[in-house]
Structure 1
Amino acid sequence: MKEITIKSILKEVLQKEYRNKITFLTGAGISAASGIPTYRGSDGIWVKGTKFHKPEEFGTFEYFLKNPEDVWQFTMFRKKMFLEAKPNVNHELLVSIEKQLGDQFHLITQNIDNLHRRAGSERIFEIHGNNREMKCSNGCKEIIPIPDSISPKEIDEDLLKEEIEQLKCKTCGSWMRPNLLWFDEYYDEKTHKKHSALKVAKNTGVLFILGTSGATNLPMEIARTVLKYGNYVVDVNLENNHFTELLENKKNKLIIRGKSEDILPEILETINECK
């Protein structure tokens, strides 16, 4: 039986005329080297006054409707953290791979930190939204940038009165909300590019999963779609995860336990050789 390796997969996919996209699915592990803590982990717990909030509690639309100012304060605290972070070698290697592949490359990310874009990635789907934009919590359709005049916050720094006014919908007067996917919400096309991401998956020859455990349903659906059409999934993570279970009895899979920054150079080198 032929051994499946990164090199053998890429050589096969790059020779294909159809379903030959090379797609990368990234999560929080990609940004860890930039110093950004994970949202779900213990370092995602937020202290407000004397209250300790777990992400699953305050990262919901239900919580936002009751405590919009608190959620916006935390959002602007996270934005400050993102702005102070810098793209790392993972982001830069993905940009180099995109330059080599052109339209054959796609990047699907669960990260909202904007580091992929700041590094220079262009063919990107932000399926959990982003920290740059906001939309009306009452359903008015426009998605707009968060005003630059609202300053990023320290963890204990409150919003100013004039900043709160800028966070109200100009159409209906309701609170605007961050353009993010919360724990009690569903993926859609407008905000989360669900259908676009699945269309990319359908045309993907190999999906590289980098630094994400598959704890939400769209990433799992993306991987299932790639497998459904007989193509490859490569799981690059430090430990076993939800994708491990999905791939367990599949032939077109490669499981690598290690860091993305150790694997991406091999991917880039192989693409350069084949190109």
Structure 2
Amino acid sequence: MKEQLEEIIHDVYRKDKRNLFTFLTGAGISSDSGIPTYRGTDGIWVKGTQFHKPEEFGTLRYFRQHPKEVWQYSLFRKKMFETATPNQSHLELADIESMLKDRFHLITQNIDNLHRRAGNTRMYEVHGNNREIKCSNGCKGIMAMPEEIVGKDIDEDLTLKDTELLTCPNCGHWMRPNILWFDEYYDEKTNKKFSSLKVAKNSGILFIIGTSGATNLPLAIAETALKYGAYIVDINTEDNHFTELIKNKKNKLIIREKSTEVLAVVKEIIKDSNRSI
């Protein structure tokens, strides 16, 4: 595995064009931080909520019908994210960014803020994030989550103050989390759709870490990177939609090891490449 990675990374390092190092991450990279994945055997979306299937519950339509219930669940997840800490994979990616600088890009499906807390800055959060809110009725503007809104236990009700702070000051409708739900489409404002595809187009290598490729923008990112000649490195514990996409391609590497171990090797190879310049 190391020899193959060295060959690929050194090749990309020498390129003058389409030479970005891009990392696409999903929920699997945060599992070592104690955050359940979505579609793994213990995932949030496999178990669902107590009474609803996720494809029903995780929608704008359901939010409009049951905003308090969805906010209770969202604030439960907020507490889960805030009590978690970045794991070694997050820290390795922050180190890699510091070495590659503007040749580094991170595209993450995660809303948990752990990449940012680890130190990454060159990042597109294509499923939104848990730090911001916006009007569910479509008023313009994205706001920071009020500091007074705190994470809650799963059975903890919203307070009157919570309800007040989560009401749109312009139209009086509920504010909602600035995340992508199942019945919504990717856009540039919230999801950086076109920016992330542009990065993919200019990538020399795309590392795919901890994501199954079950949503269409991540798959489109991989397809775009392939189309313009990038190497694809699939780092997951199981085969997935990306594996199917790249299995017959020459410029691919499929690794079935833990991301922490692989990223440590990637970091060391990049460090050696930096020294040899």
Q: TM-score range by the shorter chain?
A: over 0.9
Displacement of 1:36: 0.3
Structure 1 distance, partners of 2:52, 2:145, is 24
Q: Which residue of 2 aligns with 1:240?
A: 239
Give the direction of change, closer, same or farther, for the CA distance of 1:40–1:231 in structure 2 (3 Å limit): closer
Structure 2 distance, partners of 1:33, 1:231, is 29
Structure 2 distance, partners of 1:77, 1:148, is 15
Letter paired with 2:269: T
Q: Which residue of 1 aligns with 2:187?
A: 188
Q: Which residue of 2 aligns with 1:133?
A: 132
Whether 1:259 aligns to 2:258 is yes
Q: Secondary structure at the match of 2:51?
A: strand
1:96-146 deviation digits (Å, cap 9, x = unpaired) = 100100000000000000000001000000000001100011111110011
TM-score, with length taken from structure 1: 0.95
Displacement of 1:210: 0.4
Letter paired with 1:66: Q
Displacement of 1:4: 7.9
Q: Secondary structure at the match of 2:106?
A: strand
Report matched runs for 1:56-67 at 5 Å: 56-67=55-66
Displacement of 1:43: 4.5
Structure 2 distance, partners of 1:82, 1:212, is 18
Whether 1:76 aligns to 2:75 is yes
Letter paired with 1:14: Y
Question: What is the root-mean-square deviation of aligned Cα atoms in Å?
Answer: 1.4
Q: Which residue of 2 aligns with 1:168?
A: 167
Displacement of 1:54: 2.6
Which runs of no fewer than 5 residues in structure 1 stay unpaired?
none
Contact 1:39/1:55 (<8 A) preserved: no
Structure 1 distance, partners of 2:135, 2:271, is 45
Letter paired with 1:30: I
Displacement of 1:46: 5.6
Structure 2 distance, partners of 1:148, 1:67, is 23
Q: Secondary structure at the match of 2:169?
A: coil
Structure 2 distance, partners of 1:99, 1:191, is 26
Structure 1 distance, partners of 2:95, 2:240, is 28
User: 98-107 or 142-151: which moved more?
Assistant: 142-151
Displacement of 1:148: 1.1
1:168-226 deviation digits (Å, cap 9, x = unpaired) = 11111111110000011110000000000000001000000001010000000000001
Letter paired with 1:266: V
Structure 2 distance, partners of 1:24, 1:239, is 18
Q: Secondary structure at the match of 2:121?
A: coil
Percent of aligned pairs with the same residue? 62
Structure 2 distance, partners of 1:43, 1:204, is 31
Q: Secondary structure at the match of 1:5?
A: helix
Q: Which residue of 2 aligns with 1:217?
A: 216
Q: Which residue of 2 aligns with 1:103?
A: 102
